[in-house]
Amino acid sequence: MHSFGFRANAVLTFGITILALICAMASISDNFNSPRPSSEIQIKYPIDSGEIKFSFSMQVSLTMNITADLQSLFTWNTKQVFVFVAAEYETPKNALNQVSLWDAIIPAKEHAKFWVQTANKYRFVDQGSNLRGKDFNLTLHWHVMPKTGKMFANKLVIPGYRLPEEYR
């Protein structure tokens, strides 16, 4: 009962149990954070200036002004926040379509209040050719990745965008 093997085993088990406990406590502490993130997204209009274009393959290129303040999402247990903007719309065939247009990794609280003007990073293209004149929402999603423990995700839906009927 007092051999080296038994003592080593006891120490290791105890150590790992304590580690697991600390990890759980760190993760639970994230629940006490009540974040108040905010964001605004503008799609640059007017379309005459060519800011929204359909290409021949029915793909949309647009430029967005994205402002956001996500600083309140960060806790001491936050490793990074992954943020992305997705266009959401409905088609006759599909109840829900979500197409990711832009994403970024925010490594620290200082970088979480930002303004970015960007073309869409990923192709805005539908499974059919349903995008002409389509109404859509832009949703800002964020995933808070902890240093240890549970990951939190939420989103902010901004409705009221529409694509032009004609393409050039």
Partner 1 sequence: MHDGKRLKNGREIPIVHRVIKVHERQETEEVEVLTKGDNNYGDDRLLYAQGQLWLQRHHIMGRAVGFLPYVGWVTIIMTEKPIIKYILIGALGLLVITSKD
Residue 13 in the binding site for partner 1 (CB under 8 A): no
CB-based contact 141:153 (threshold 8 Å):
yes
- Choose, by CB under 8 A, the member of 29, 114, 141, 156 that binds partner 1: 141
Q: Which residue, 18 or 151, is less far from partner 1 as judged by CB?
A: 151
Stretch that binds partner 1, among 33-41, 56-64, 87-95, 106-114 (CB under 8 A): 87-95
Q: Which residue, 51 or 103, is less far from partner 1 as judged by CB?
A: 103
Q: Strand order in 135-146's β-sheet? A: 78-89, 135-146, 152-162
58: left (phi over 0), alpha (psi -120 to 50) or beta: left
* Residues present in the chain in total: 168
Bridge-based pairing state of the strands 78-89 and 135-146: antiparallel
Distances (CA, A) of 2 to 6, 10, 11, 58, 102: 6, 10, 12, 75, 60
Q: Which residue, 7 or 168, is less far from partner 1 as judged by CB?
A: 7
Residue 150 in the binding site for partner 1 (CB under 8 A): yes
Residue 132 in the binding site for partner 1 (CB under 8 A): no
Please state, as a whole number, how many other Cβ atoms lie within 10 Å of the Cβ of residue 148. 15
Stretch that binds partner 1, among 39-47, 54-62, 67-75, 96-104 (CB under 8 A): 96-104
Residue 149 in the binding site for partner 1 (CB under 8 A): yes
- Choose, by CB under 8 A, the member of 13, 55, 65, 94 that binds partner 1: 94
By CB atoms closer than 10 A (0-12, 13-18, 19+), residue 34 is exposed
Q: Which residues bind partner 1 (CB under 8 A)?
A: 1, 3, 5-6, 9, 23, 27, 79, 82, 84, 86, 92-100, 103, 105, 122, 127, 141, 143, 145-151, 153
